[in-house]
Structure 1
Amino acid sequence: MTDDRRTGYDGTGEGAITPDGCAVEVWSRLPAGNAPDVIEAAVPPGAHILELGCGVGRMTHPLTDRGFTVTAVDESAEMLARVRGDVRTVHSPIEQLDLGERFDVVMLASFLVHAGDVTVRQGLLETCRRHVAEDGCVLVQREGEDWHLTVPRETAIGPGAWSRLVSATPVGDGVNSVRCEYEFPDGVWTQTFLSRPLSTEVFEQALAEAGLTVEHYLTEDRTWVRARPSERVPAQASEQAGERASE
């Protein structure tokens, strides 16, 4: 277990736990779902993808299998050790990343855009903008609009295996402390993390502050979004958006 856990983030269970409370073993078992299909349909064939927060390669591997070139970034060395095949891996916090390169596609999945700290959220989006080609795109995965409201709930993730959203408790400043549980036949893992629900307006404004414009919501539930590079919003508008986000 790591000893550099972020405040408000925790995890339990066998094996390594990352700074944001993720159990490496759990993420090695979670299915990718339809995400690879959504991504493949939204970007050019064979595109070079910068995957921010790749984890163990849950989406990296199906994307490389489909002919994409992936540069996979994660702050956890234990996660990156599980990425296999001919994949370039980079060990770094996302908000500090500066490869000096541009990519056809930059991907920010796993609800990372909902970081509890607004400064961290903007750092993540600015990393996306810094690395996307001017004719490229950024794919962002959002939480469902009722994600914090329909609690508790559970989802089957395999034979005898369940993912449960146990609670989403307000802790102030528009942030919830979220507790998840993952049950498998051979063990139970938990994760606690901070998440800031974002209305569509605040989400799109956050992208605009980083120099990105929403082009298209890719799924019916609006959880996957394709954005394009744009000009940043004026400083005054950015400050007003920050005030709305913290309400």
Structure 2
Amino acid sequence: MSERMRDGFRGTGPGPITPDGCAVERWLRLPVGREPDIIEAAVPPGASLLELGCGVGRVTHPLLARGFAVTAVDESPEMLAHVRGARTVCSPVETLELGEERFDVVLLASFLVNNGDPAVRRGMLRTCRRYVADGGCVLIEREGDDWHVRVPREARSADGGLVRVATAEPVGPDTSAIRVEYEFPDAVWTQTFVSYRYRGDAFERALAEAGLAVDATLTEDLTWVRARPV
């Protein structure tokens, strides 16, 4: 298990475990989903893109194939070792230092905006605002409104595994410790992470604090939004 584990985060199973409890080998099995289509439809062709929390490059590689210039950031060197063709930067999102660089698009996917630590959430959004170019945009994936209460639930993932959101235990106001289990015939992984549930206009207020505002909702389930600097 990682010696760099974040407070409240943990993971179990074979192979390296990242600071937020993700199992590298589990993510290597997961095919890309709808993310590249959502991103491509929301931004200009060939845009420069800063991908925050890129993992093993599951989304990075399709974006490169579609002509985007991607700088891929992750705090896990074990994850970044699998990214090919993109410039990579090993850093936590909230403390990223890229000097005066700016990007047409900043991407904050994988529900990172729901991090249970308020300082980390604010830091991630500040990073988004800092590195988006004038006239650029920030694409954010957030949790669904009922994800902390619709538990337990399970489904088959695209890589043939069973994904079970087993528990969501309250640990503070609007904050839960979420335990997810991934079951395959040859391996089992678990991840526990602390997640913040945005209620009412809390999401919009958090963006405004960082100097961003929602420009468009990109998916019918409201989990993907595009924001712009204000």
Gaps of 5+ in 1: 231-247
| Partner residue in 1 for 2:49 | 49
| Partner residue in 2 for 1:199 | 199
Q: Which amino acid aligns with 1:67?
A: G
CA contact (8 A) 1:139 1:226 kept: yes
The Cα shift of 1:31 comes to: 2.7
3-state DSSP of counterpart to 1:179: strand
Query: Superposition RMSD on alpha carbons, in Å?
Result: 1.0
3-state DSSP of counterpart to 1:61: helix
The Cα shift of 1:160 comes to: 4.1
The Cα shift of 1:79 comes to: 0.3
CA deviations on 1:45-69 (whole Å, 9 max, x unpaired) are 0111100000001110111111111
The Cα shift of 1:150 comes to: 1.2
CA contact (8 A) 2:103 2:133 kept: yes
| Partner residue in 2 for 1:110 | 110
After the TM superposition, which residues 1-247 of structure 1 pair with which residues of structure 2 at under 5 Å, given as runs?
A: 1-84=1-84, 86-100=85-99, 101-158=101-158, 160-230=160-230
| Partner residue in 2 for 1:236 | none
The Cα shift of 1:146 comes to: 1.1
CA contact (8 A) 1:31 1:157 kept: no
Gaps of 5+ in 2: none
The Cα shift of 1:159 comes to: 5.9
Pick which of 197-206 and 122-131 moved more: 197-206
Q: Write out the 4+ residue segments of structure 1 that deviate beyond 6 Å after TM superposition.
A: none
3-state DSSP of counterpart to 1:41: helix
CA deviations on 1:21-61 (whole Å, 9 max, x unpaired) are 01001111123211111000000001111000000011101
Q: Using the alignment, how far apart are the partners of 1:147 and 1:75 within structure 2?
A: 26
Q: Using the alignment, how far apart are the partners of 1:28 and 1:203 within structure 2?
A: 31
Matched residue pairs, number? 229
Q: Which amino acid aligns with 2:73?
A: V
Q: Which amino acid aligns with 1:45?
A: P
CA contact (8 A) 2:52 2:107 kept: yes
CA contact (8 A) 1:178 1:193 kept: yes
The Cα shift of 1:200 comes to: 4.7
Q: Using the alignment, how far apart are the partners of 2:45 and 2:72 within structure 1?
A: 18
3-state DSSP of counterpart to 1:123: helix
The Cα shift of 1:171 comes to: 1.0
Q: Which amino acid aligns with 2:121?
A: R
Q: Which amino acid aligns with 1:95?
A: E
- Report the TM-score when normalising by structure 2: 0.97
